[in-house]
């Protein structure tokens, strides 16, 4: 792919679409055809080539990859975080089919048959534009998503509409039990959490807020007796379903999913009232990623 891209860049220079002062067009692939889309000239020394393959954004930064897979999911009253994963065996007939992963309680509290997934499109000047899209959750009394039998995880197959840009996490970049056993995932490792705390979006286009933390509990194995871990970052309502990720050899690896937070509860009893105060401890509760793989396996059996 890199040689093809370099050849295209050389061709653009020869025909005058790219010069030393900037870039006059952007290459896009849509439905197997090549399009040259005019954009405004960029500053000298900045050469930007936007390559979209079937709507999937190509990025050189693993943290941007993580953000490009993360979206807000909501209904009229509730809001949570979800992220997209590529199927283990992609279906050529459905190139925009992905697996949506989140906390089960995020979907359980949404009682309607559909909910809003806040996707994004990209304008001709390369700015991102918010695109809320309704996705089905139920058909009659039958739910379309599956829940892990013992932990608060859910997965759902989604066919994304044309025109939206996304980059799902590759299936093999969801950490399995081997990553625990070889201590790739262990206490003290730096983590990143893209999320929507208290329904907050990073900007008008609906990007997630990127939080930084670390794995705060030990040990993480055996998985059977340690299904969750603590992550040292200040979680809020709306973070549920967010991926907990590590960067390993310049690649994103999902190592957990946020389920909730630890907090201290104090009660004061006065002559005419009782007061309950919840104080967040700055520690998130996250399910370990191998359990997400189990949930995806249940989805394929559905």
67 token code pair: 């953000």
**Helices (DSSP H) in the chain: which residue ranges?**
2-14, 62-68, 104-108, 177-181, 289-301
206 three-class SS: coil
Give 68-93 pLDDT, tens digit per residue.
Answer: 999 999 999 999 999 999 999 989 99
d(CA 286, CA 244): 8
pLDDT at 59 over 50: yes
Express each pLDDT in 140-190 by its tens digit.
Answer: 989 999 999 999 999 999 999 999 999 999 999 999 999 999 999 999 999
Q: Is the pLDDT of residue 30 over 50?
A: no
What is the pTM (predicted TM-score) of this model? Answer: 0.80
Give the lowest-confidence range in 37-51, 105-119, 286-300: 37-51
- The tokens describing 69, both together, are 């897979």
pLDDT value at position 53?
A: 40
Q: Parse the chain into domains and list their residue ranges.
A: 2-53, 63-167+296-301, 171-290
Q: Domain spanning 63-167+296-301 has what CATH number?
A: 2.40.10.10
User: What is the CATH number assigned to the segment(s) 171-290?
Assistant: 2.40.10.10
Are both 63-167+296-301 and 171-290 of the same fold?
A: yes
Would you state the pLDDT for residue 63?
Answer: 98
Task: Write down the pLDDT at residue 18.
Answer: 43
Instruction: State how far the Cα of 185 lies from the Cα of 62, in Å rounded to an integer.
Output: 17
Q: Is the pLDDT of residue 17 over 80?
A: no
Alpha-carbon distance 284 to 275, whole Å?
A: 25
C-alpha 34, offset from chain centre:
28
Greater confidence, 32 or 99? 99
């Amino acid at each position: 792919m890199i040689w093809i891209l370099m050849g295209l860049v050389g061709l653009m220079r020869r025909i005058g679409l790219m010069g030393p002062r900037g870039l006059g067009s952007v290459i896009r692939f849509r439905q197997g055809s090549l399009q040259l889309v005019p954009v405004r000239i960029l500053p000298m020394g900045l050469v930007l080539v936007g390559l979209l393959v079937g709507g999937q954004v190509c990025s050189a930064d693993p943290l941007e990859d993580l953000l490009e897979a993360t979206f807000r999911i909501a209904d009229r009253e509730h809001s949570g975080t979800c992220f997209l994963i590529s199927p283990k065996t992609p279906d050529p007939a459905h190139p925009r089919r992905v697996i949506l992963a989140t906390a089960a309680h995020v979907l359980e509290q949404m009682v309607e048959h559909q909910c809003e997934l806040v996707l994004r499109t990209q304008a001709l000047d390369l700015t991102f534009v918010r695109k809320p899209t309704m996705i089905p959750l139920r058909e009659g009394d039958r739910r379309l998503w599956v829940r892990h039998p013992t932990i608060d995880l859910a997965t759902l197959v989604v066919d994304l509409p044309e025109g939206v840009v996304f980059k799902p996490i590759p299936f093999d970049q969801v950490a399995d039990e081997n990553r625990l056993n070889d201590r790739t995932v262990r206490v003290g490792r730096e983590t990143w959490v893209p999320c929507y705390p208290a329904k907050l979006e990073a900007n008008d286009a609906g990007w997630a807020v990127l939080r930084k933390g670390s794995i705060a509990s030990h040990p993480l194995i055996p998985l059977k007796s340690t299904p969750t871990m603590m992550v040292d970052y200040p979680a809020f309502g709306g973070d549920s379903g967010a991926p907990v990720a590590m960067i390993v050899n310049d690649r994103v690896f999902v190592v957990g999913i946020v389920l909730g937070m630890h907090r201290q509860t104090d009660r004061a009893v006065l002559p005419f009232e009782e007061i309950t105060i919840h104080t967040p401890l700055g520690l998130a509760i996250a399910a370990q990623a191998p359990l997400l793989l189990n949930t995806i396996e249940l989805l394929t059996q559905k």
